[in-house]
Amino acid sequence: MKAPRFGKWFAGLTLLNQPQHKQVLEALQPAVGLERVIALIEQIRAAGRCCPRCQCAAWQRHGHANNLQRYRCRQCGHTFNDLSGTPLARLRLKEKWIDHLSALLDSLPVRRAASRVGVHRNTAFRWRHRFVHWVKRDSPERLSGIVEADEMFLLESQKGSRKLDRPARKHGGAAKKRGISRALDCILVARDRSGQTIDAVTGRGALTARQLEHHLLPKLDPQALLVSDANAAYRAFARKHRITHQTVNLRAGHRVRASSTGAIHVQNVNAYHQRFRQWLAPFHGVASRYLPNYLGWRRALDGGRIISTKQLLHIAIRPIHR
């Protein structure tokens, strides 16, 4: 629209009645959402923009496509935009991303999120896991001081699978065997007293020392004090790697012990387990293959660490601790 024509149209806005005002605002809302998302993406990527192929930071502008500025690498000639190489690459309907991020912050189930955003429930489900794909990798590099570690178990689920490798269970069901078995997914959570948290789905069944070496050892400060329950896997792991280790015997009712280094307990990590279970309940069960995504999503929200759509979009595109 040319400037004189736009000026005439803009001057006529004051003559609109209330229903017409509402109609204009509803028509402009997608454009406003699109501009806001594009501005946030450019702001997030501006500092470290580089070629996703060769990591070269020398680039030049190379036109526009799909509402995003494209760039051309001066070293390899590869063209890219600010979403290239991220889980959000090639996602459409950018004008609705802010509403979707808001639904993630509110932890809405798929159908409620789809209703709020105005997309199909399958789209809302795919978007959920694209947006939290890198969120799960946004974890602290080290746990230090007093580090509490404990595992929790959830019933293995093949929800959404077209073919099952076992008989179907009605309404979630229960494990056939009592106690810890291969029918349960093991989730390891470690948390220091400053609130830094790591988590991992270690596999099915009981936790082993080898799994602790793989998931916990790279994140554990050598000078840290590891506190756990009386599980033998922690003792074997700590003895092998010469890690200072203290235990509490929960079965015997010993929840807290005094020590010169501080109170010895695993109540912080057990409280985290409880919050995760309560947060997960409205989703009515999640597939085992998606558990790492839900763990990362919950970790981002825990303790108010992520409170805005901008922060959530930032780690969805570029994790802080990666």
Contacts of 318 (CB under 8 A, 6+ apart): 44, 45, 48, 86, 134
**264 φ, ψ to 5°?**
-100, 110
Distance in angstroms (rounded) separating the CA atoms of residues 269 and 106:
23
CA dihedral 17, 22, 27, 29 (to 10 degrees): 140
Cβ atoms of 145 and 198 within 8 Å: the answer is no
Phi-psi region of 118 (alpha: psi -120 to 50; beta: other; left: phi over 0): left
What is the distance between the terminal CA atoms of the chain, rounded to a whole angstrom? 45
| Per-residue model confidence as pLDDT tens for the chain (322 residues) | 777 787 776 677 677 777 766 666 566 565 667 888 999 999 998 888 999 899 999 999 999 998 899 999 999 999 999 999 999 999 999 999 999 999 999 999 999 999 999 999 999 999 999 999 999 888 899 999 999 999 999 999 998 888 888 888 877 778 888 888 889 999 999 999 999 999 999 999 999 999 999 999 999 999 999 999 999 999 999 999 999 999 998 777 778 887 777 789 999 999 999 999 999 999 988 999 999 999 999 999 998 889 999 999 999 998 654 4
Distance in angstroms (rounded) separating the CA atoms of residues 91 and 97:
10
Helix H, strand E, coil C: the string for 148-205 is: EEEEEEEECCCCCCCCCCCCCCHHHCCCCCCCCCCCEEEEEEEEECCCCEEEEEEEEC
Coil, strand or helix: which one is 65?
Answer: strand
In the prediction, which pLDDT does 322 show?
43
Domain residue ranges of the chain, discontinuous segments joined by +? 21-85, 141-161+176-294
Cβ atoms of 129 and 293 within 8 Å: the answer is yes
Give the pairing type, strands 197-204 and 146-155. Answer: unpaired
Q: What is the DSSP letter of 224?
A: -
Distance in angstroms (rounded) separating the CA atoms of residues 299 and 286:
16
Q: Kind and range of the H or E element at 62? A: strand 59-65
pTM beyond 0.95, yes or no: no
DSSP 265-321: --HHHHHHHHHHHHHHGGGT---GGGHHHHHHHHHHHGGGS--SHHHHHHHHHS-S-
Cα separations in angstroms, 167 against 230, 290, 291: 35, 21, 21
Distance in angstroms (rounded) separating the CA atoms of residues 202 and 186:
6
In the prediction, which pLDDT does 78 show?
94
Cβ atoms of 87 and 111 within 8 Å: the answer is no
Tokens of residue 58, six digits: 């020398």
Distance in angstroms (rounded) separating the CA atoms of residues 260 and 65:
62
In the prediction, which pLDDT does 147 show?
96
Per DSSP, what are the bridge partners of residue 155?
184
